[in-house]
Every structure is written in C-alpha cells, then in structure tokens.
C-alpha cells in the first residue's frame, strides 16, 4: 500500500483527521493514546473508495453485508473505557467487521484475539491490518457469542455488536477483575455497559446510549 494512500489527501488528509480528533476531545475523550490512534489509523482504507471523502466524519458508514464501520467517537469511547480499568495483556474483540476498531485497539494491548462471523469481512480486515504492519492480532472466523475458549481467560472483551442480553459465555471467559464492554438491547434502546467480574459477583456500569447492529450467532 502506498504511503500516499495511507497518509491521505484532501478529505482524508492529516488536517481533516486533526479536526476529527478535536471533536472527540470536545465530546469528552481524554486518553491521549486513544486519540493518537484515531489520528493515525487511516480510516479511509477501511471503507469503500466511494465513501473515502466521508471517512473522517464522526458517523457510522456502511461496509457491506448489512454491517457498518462504527462512528469514531464510539470506537474511541469503547477503547478508552476498556483501557482505563485494568490489565490488557489478553483481549478479545467480538465483531471484527472491517477491522477499524481492531486497528485502533491492537497497538494499545499486548495480544488481541478477534472473531468475525462474516468470512469476506474477516478476510478484508486481515489484509488491511497486515498492510498496516499490525502483528499482535489473531483472527478467527466464528460465532462471537461463544467467545474463544481456547484463549480464555481474558483481561477484557470488547463486543462491537448488540445482543439483547449479555452472552453468558463471554462473562465466563473473563479473568477475575476482567471487563466486558458490550452494547445491550434492541434497536433504538441500546446502552453501552461495562461488566466487571469479581470473585463472587459481576458488577454492571452503564456508559450511555448507543446504536449498533445486532449481535448474531453462527457464521456466513
């Protein structure tokens, strides 16, 4: 991939990215490392070329297969919420999608495992992360509602799609002290929740209203 394509021009230039980062700061994202990733990950390469001029708008965009690339604010907020409350040596992402959230998060953790149910999306994400030189990610085509038992327990799990209720398998695959960050609820009534597993209980913290595609089981 050429340096020019990665760096961007016009509506994908560094100046455009800086304006996005400033908007995220104004909306409360404060983690410097997260903001730096938002600035430096070339979001335009994760969307169709026809949508490239909109890549640094703070909005979700279609990526095919009925899926979307998440709004940059949501990516930043979820990444910040995951990082701020514990160890991040072994992290699971459920819902790789096009790989943008993966690219933002991966350099901020030691090891990232990521699962996607839609095969062509996973192949595209794998290619993009390879082109960006990100090498601490393990990919799996699978059912994210089941987690990834072979690599559990996890310090943290980030879910990029919304189940109606939290999948019990994901809670069970957390370490004690581990966090599950997941949007929960039906379309139009979703909230972002951070669960923390303790020895004898699971703590629940609401982080506000969000809008995600539904979390589905199975693979395609």
pLDDT in tens, the chain (220 residues): 455 456 555 556 788 999 999 999 999 999 999 999 999 999 999 999 899 999 999 999 999 999 999 999 999 999 999 998 788 999 999 999 999 999 999 999 999 999 999 999 999 999 999 999 999 999 999 999 999 999 999 999 999 999 999 889 999 999 999 999 999 999 989 999 999 999 999 999 999 999 999 999 999 9
d(CA 59, CA 69): 9
Task: Catalytic residue, from 2, 70, 85, 206: name it.
Answer: 70
Joined together, the tokens standing for residue 135 give: 């090498």
> How many CA atoms, within 13 angstroms, populate the side-chain half-sphere of residue 33?
12
Question: What's the rounded Cα separation, in Å, for the pair 51 and 61?
Answer: 8
Q: Which residue has the tokens 């072994």?
A: 90
C-alpha–C-alpha distance, residues 99 and 105, integer Å: 10
**The pair of three-digit structure tokens given for residue 156, joined into one six-digit string:** 């943290």
- Report the first-to-last Cα separation within the chain, whole angstroms: 28
Distance (Å, rounded) from C-alpha 103 to C-alpha 26? 23
Q: Is 206 a catalytic residue?
A: no
Instruction: Say what the pTM is.
Output: 0.93
Peptide bond into 211 cis (omega under 30): no
Q: Is 103 in contact with 41 (CB distance < 8 Å)?
A: yes
Phi, psi (deg, nearest 5) at residue 155: -70, -35
**CA–CA distance, 153 with 90 (Å, rounded to integer):** 8
Residue 115, pLDDT score: 98
Q: Which residues contact 168 (CB under 8 A, 6 or more apart)?
A: none
CATH says 3-210 is which class?
A: alpha beta
91 Cβ neighbours under 8 A, 6+ residues apart: 82, 105, 109, 110, 111, 112, 113, 154, 155, 156, 157, 158
């Amino acid at each position: 991939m050429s340096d020019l394509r990665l760096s961007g021009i016009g509506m994908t230039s560094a100046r455009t990215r800086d304006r996005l980062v400033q908007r995220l700061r104004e909306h409360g994202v404060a983690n410097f490392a997260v903001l730096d990733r938002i600035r430096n990950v070339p979001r335009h390469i994760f969307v169709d070329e026809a949508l490239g001029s909109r890549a640094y708008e703070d909005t979700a965009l279609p990526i095919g297969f009925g899926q979307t690339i998440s709004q940059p604010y949501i990516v930043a907020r979820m990444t910040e919420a995951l990082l701020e409350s514990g160890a991040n040596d072994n992290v699971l992402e459920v819902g790789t999608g096009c790989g943008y959230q993966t690219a933002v998060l991966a350099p901020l953790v030691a090891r990232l495992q990521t699962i996607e149910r839609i095969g062509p999306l996973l192949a595209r994400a794998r290619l993009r992360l390879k082109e960006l030189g990100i090498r601490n990610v393990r990919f799996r085509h699978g059912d994210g509602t089941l987690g990834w038992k072979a690599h559990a327990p996890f310090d943290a799990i980030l879910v990029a799609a919304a189940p109606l209720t939290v999948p019990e398998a994901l809670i069970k695959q957390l370490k004690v002290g581990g966090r599950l960050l997941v949007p929960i609820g039906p379309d139009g009534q979703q909230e972002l929740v951070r669960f923390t597993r303790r020895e004898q209980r699971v703590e629940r913290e609401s982080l506000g209203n969000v809008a995600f595609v539904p979390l589905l089981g199975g693979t395609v």
